[in-house]
Amino acid sequence: MNMKLSQKEHSWPSLVWLGNSPPEAACLLAIKPAVKSSSQMLSIYRSAETNRGLPGTLFPGYVWWFPRLAGFLVGIELAMRIGFGWQGKTAWPAEELPRLEMPLMNEWIHAGIVQPRLAQGRVEWKAKWQPQRVFGTTRSRITSAGKRCSEQISLAGGGKNFNFSYKQENEKQMYSLSVDFYRCFQIQWKNLDPQSPWTIELIQKPKEPIVLKVSLPDSQRIWAASSLWHLAFEEPGTAEKYIIPLFSPFLPSVSLFSQRELLEQEMLSLARLPRSPDQSRWEALVAQLADDQYTRRQAADCALRQQGPAIVPFLRSLDWNRLDAEQRFRIRRILQELEPPEGLDSLTKVAHWLINDPEIWWILLDRPDLQTRQIAAQRLAQLLGESIPFDPEAPPELRQAQRQRLETKLRPAHRTPREKP
């Protein structure tokens, strides 16, 4: 038996164990530089054959302890090599998650029974009104990969007050989705293979950060973000690896997250534009939509409509939390009249929404490009109405410390990412 171990391209010594059948030869443990070729290995073997008496001369009694020492050391090297390879492959889920098929879910969506949509980075759900009725169905099918899979789906209520659930399970995976009466939305995806188990969870509650969890038996990573767009900007790799596979089987619009770079460039271009000379007048008209007199509200509504599509980006950039019910109602109606059909201008809509979000610009302060950091710092100062303690040209360590101090001001409710043992 010949067992040859060598580590190519490394400067540290390699362990070479040569075993031979004659008892007097036993085995030879040689610590030599990395073997570069088979001819060098052969020369080592011949050297061992011609020096069979050497171990016994130098190390009396080698016959019982020397082979064991050799086997022990070789075992350590093998374990280290195998261990390093195993850790890299099983530390987290595979590079590409398996593609899911949800025919039963998509049948309900196409029939209009349930209607999911992506709005400002959060998933919203609507359902047909079914007063005092609970209905659902279960189906077993064979997937395109030849695996048997079961699907369960049910709905209670409708409109804005409903309880919806979906579950898909096969011998290797389980995927479940639920929306409750309180508008809490949750997805859980489990790999049931005992050799490489993992769980991905996404939780979205009203007026709370979206939470993404990726769990292994011995560790867990957690991200929290104001919206899925915020997560995509701060952790683009995480969004593409987990968020898109979670939603793409029934919500194709999540593919927009893969175009984050285009969206970022559009936002930077918008931030470079000077303030519109009409913006002050537009702001006054929006404020007039909340006037006590109906005639003044109606006049402001007509004046805004007369601006045409040019005013759409401005209306999209408004902070709706600062508008009352009348203003929001009228602006929605104006946007429905002036905007292009749904889906044709989605990236532009998101860009005009995020350009007035301070947290997004705080995230962009961490970009490697100096010009991006400069624009982000300038825009963030404009939104906050004051100068910020951040130097775009400072060393990375100092910039990171400055960002951390700003984080407590811009988003005290959550930080991302976190890792638990």
Q: Please name the residues in contact with 61: beta carbons below 8 A apart, sequence gap of 6 or more.
A: none
d(CA 314, CA 150): 48
Lowest mean pLDDT among 46-50, 224-228, 296-300: 46-50
Q: Please name the residues in contact with 120: beta carbons below 8 A apart, sequence gap of 6 or more.
A: 227, 229, 350, 353
pLDDT of residue 82: 38
DSSP three-state, residue 307: coil
Bridge partners of 125, per DSSP, are: 116
Structure tokens given for 143: 């997937």
**HSE on the CB side for 136, CA within 13 Å?**
14
pLDDT of residue 41: 43
pLDDT above 50 for 80: no
Task: Give kind and range of the element (H or E) at residue 295.
Answer: helix 294-305
pLDDT of residue 351: 85
Each residue's pLDDT tens digit, 171-188: 889 999 999 988 899 999
> What value does the mean pLDDT take over residues 363-383?
95
Report the share of the chain in percent with pLDDT over 70: 70
Q: What is the DSSP letter of 320?
A: G
Lowest mean pLDDT among 23-37, 148-162, 195-209, 347-361: 23-37
Query: Within a 10 A sphere around the Cβ of 264, how many other Cβ atoms?
Result: 20
**Rg, the chain, Cα only:** 32
pLDDT above 90 for 395: yes
DSSP structure string for 140-178: EEE-TTS-EEEEEEEEEEEBTEEEEEEEEE-SSEEEEEE
DSSP structure string for 173-186: EEEEEEE-TT--EE
pLDDT above 50 for 25: no
Higher pLDDT, 54 or 277: 277
pLDDT above 90 for 353: no
Each residue's pLDDT tens digit, 92-102: 565 578 888 89
Higher pLDDT, 47 or 258: 258
pLDDT of residue 81: 42
Closest residue by Cα to residue 91 from 221, 179, 208, 248 = 221
Report the share of the chain in percent with pLDDT over 90: 43
Is the model's pTM score more than 0.95? no
pLDDT of residue 77: 52
Lowest mean pLDDT among 138-152, 252-266, 355-369: 138-152
- 120: pLDDT confidence band, cut at 50, 70 and 90? confident
d(CA 261, CA 277): 29
d(CA 7, CA 12): 8
Lowest mean pLDDT among 18-32, 194-208, 246-260, 291-305: 18-32
d(CA 198, CA 26): 47
